[in-house]
Amino acid sequence: MPRHISELSGELLFLMSKAPGGSTPAARERLRREIMHVDGVSYEEAGVKIVQMAQYGKADTMLLKTPYYVGMATARIAGIVSIPLVFSLTLASKFNEHNVMAEPPEEGMTDTMLEVGMWTWGWMEPPLGTISFFLLCMQFATEQRLNLGLKPFTERLKSRKADQLVKAYPQYDRYIVRDYAKAICFDESDADGLENEPLWLKNSRAALPHPPEAKQSQ
């Protein structure tokens, strides 16, 4: 029974790297074997080369992640804030005073959270309903893009990263390099050293020459 990724066959590694979602360990191992074959180096030396390749364009990684961080933060904040805006009398009253200016509820009509929600729903329903419908339409549009075979935004970013790495290291098989580049597009861990490697390899980042920098778009 294989106990390490290095013990798997090339056919199995190929299937793992091509499976939906891919497999970073499989893509890394395929690239390592390609480097060993082309450069005639040892397993450990190929690992050093992988770290160098993973460092290529690392400065762009955070920029690529920015839209996802912004979207994640916006969704969390909006979701959390929407609850007290609907069910908290204190916050809803302040919001109404400065933004809505609707008639305040009659005395005794906001004794419970549900009664507060009945009052606030008059102005909260339009934005919440519109946002929900907008997201539903965007999801439907995305599904149609996939049906037409068009790449979504994330896949386009991965392809861009893959094209850059292939151009920087043309001596290796382009499809193997592309699979690896897509697998690590948003993952910087390989650039800091590989897991399950000798200690000197984990610390190899400092000893490596600077990788070629990605050309900035004009």
* In a shared domain, residues 96 and 138: yes
150/81 Cα distance (integer angstroms): 35
% of residues, the chain, pLDDT over 70: 86
Number of separate domains in the chain: 2
> Rounded to two decimals, what is the model's pTM?
0.68
Phi and psi angles of residue 123, each rounded to the nearest 5 degrees, phi first: -105, -15
Same domain, 121 and 78: yes
Quote the domain boundaries for residue 139: 67-147
Rounded distance between C-alpha atoms, residue 201 and residue 67, angstroms: 33
Q: Report which DSSP code applies to 211.
A: P
Do 140 and 95 fall within a single domain?
A: yes
Euclidean distance between CA atoms 101 and 181, whole angstroms: 54
Q: Assess whether 109 and 73 both reside in one domain.
A: yes
Question: Per the domain annotation, does 216 fall within a domain?
Answer: no
Which of 81, 114, 147 terminates a domain? The answer is 147
pLDDT band at 195 (very low <50, low <70, confident <90, very high): low
Share of the chain above pLDDT 90, in %: 24
Q: How high is the mean pLDDT of the chain?
A: 82
The confidence score (pLDDT) of residue 193 equals 65
CA distances from 6 to 18, 25, 26, 180, 191 (A): 17, 10, 9, 16, 20
174 and 135 housed in the same domain: no
Count of other CB atoms within 10 angstroms of residue 71: 10
Whether residue 58 has pLDDT greater than 90:
no
State the pLDDT confidence band at 214, using cuts at 50, 70 and 90: very low
Whole-number pLDDT of residue 101: 85
Same domain membership, residue 135 and residue 184: no
- The reply to whether 72 and 51 lie within a common domain is no
103 lies in a domain? yes
**Angle (CA) 103 109 111, round 5°:** 125
The stretch 135-145 carries a mean pLDDT of 91
Q: Which secondary structure element, helix H or strand E, spans residue 114, and what is its range?
A: helix 113-147
Please tell me whether residues 72 and 30 are part of one structural domain: no
Q: Which is more confident, 6 or 135?
A: 135
Q: Evaluate whether residue 177 is within a structural domain.
A: yes
In a domain, 61, yes or no: no
Residue 114 and residue 43 share a domain: no
Q: Are residues 139 and 188 in the same domain?
A: no
Q: Note the pLDDT of residue 202.
A: 47
Is 159 a domain residue?
no
**What are the b/e assignments for 182-209, b being 16+ CB within 10 Å?**
bbbbeeeebbebbeebeeebeebeeeee
User: pLDDT for 70-105, tens place per residue?
Assistant: 999 999 998 899 899 899 989 988 988 888 888 888
What is the band of 215 on the pLDDT scale with cuts at 50, 70, 90? Answer: very low
209 part of a folded domain: no
Residue 134 lies inside a defined structural domain of this protein: yes
Element (H, E) at 122: helix 113-147
Reported for 35-41, long-range contacts at CB under 8 A and 24+ positions apart, including other chains, are 35/172, 38/171, 38/172
CB-based contact 215:85 (threshold 8 Å): no
Residue 196 has pLDDT above 70, yes or no: no
Each residue's pLDDT tens digit, 162-191? 999 999 999 999 999 999 998 888 877 776
Same domain assignment for residues 97 and 48: no
Domain match, 52 and 71 both: no
Residue type, 182: K
Write the single-letter amino acid at 160. Answer: R
